[in-house]
Structure 1
């Protein structure tokens, strides 16, 4: 990438073929959202080694057990629905609450191989600072709830965060407004940390979940 040309990160979580059974995966058929072709594939939804797969499975199981989510969907090609029971296909809705929200879990890992290329700079500390300073606030301004932001304790260069929306339509509206917000452009110019291809999951809360 030529120096001086700033690349926007992939800020629309793309999704998978549909909400899929717990931790199963389908081939990628549609990337959707913003293009990924300018960025190398980093952590994928199908980890390349046993260690990566074990870490991912352990983390996702912990999230699901803790919060009571069903309909776990990997990100690639996912186009909804997500959220309340009444909006979901029957194979995913049996254990979902009537007023369940759509939850989006995102994992960002710093891509050190691109630091110094173009306007890319910074590492995990700068990525956290971007969230701390304004990224969370921008999403909340446009109607999302940022449930939590975590530091992955098994991958020091990975930030994990979760958002909640009323449903899939609300999710799409939030991201469209976020992308068009001048505050995001200014924040990205200040903390243009290169990240690998994000790992993204969509979930609906169960009817017995404390967090709905």
Structure 2
């Protein structure tokens, strides 16, 4: 099992835009494409950031899912419509993780 921590640094004033995009569209598109979000957080500091963790069976599955997602017609329509007043995400950082074998607690 592979986990991916995705960190989105947002442009100023765009937090509500990304909230609406995820709530109204992105989570549903992820689900339709079989993409699993384990958890999702917003930064409590002044700098607008989102953090979420995705779960995959393998790196190959991760690559396949993201290739499918970025080519998805609905996603591209949603992205274009949501960015009419400017881009929302300045940068995405990705960290790939595996569960430590000695950690045996369910979350």
The aligned counterpart of 2:88 is: 194
TM-score (norm 2): 0.84
For residues 128 and 209 of structure 1, what CA distance do their matches in structure 2 show? 33
Q: Give 1:111 deviation, angstroms.
A: 2.2
RMSD of aligned C-alpha atoms? 1.9
Runs of 4+ deviating beyond 6 Å: none
Query: TM-score of the superposition, structure 1-length normalised?
Result: 0.45
1:136 aligned residue (22, 27, 40): 27
Task: Provide structure 2 residue ranges, at least 5 long, that are not aligned to the other structure.
Answer: none
For the residues of structure 2 that align with 1:205 and 1:195, how far apart are their CA atoms? 28
Instruction: State whether structure 2 residue 76 is matched by structure 1 residue 185.
Output: yes
Evaluate the alpha carbon distance shift between residue 182 and residue 211 of structure 1 in structure 2; reply closer, same or farther with a 3 A threshold: farther
Say which structure is richer in strand: 2
Task: Figure out how many residues of one structure are paired with residues of the other and give that number.
Answer: 103
Bigger relative CO (Cα 8 Å, ≥ 6 apart): 2
Whole-Å Cα distance in 2 between the matches of residues 167 and 210 of structure 1?
22
Write the distance in 1 (CA, Å) between the matches of 2:15 and 2:53: 17
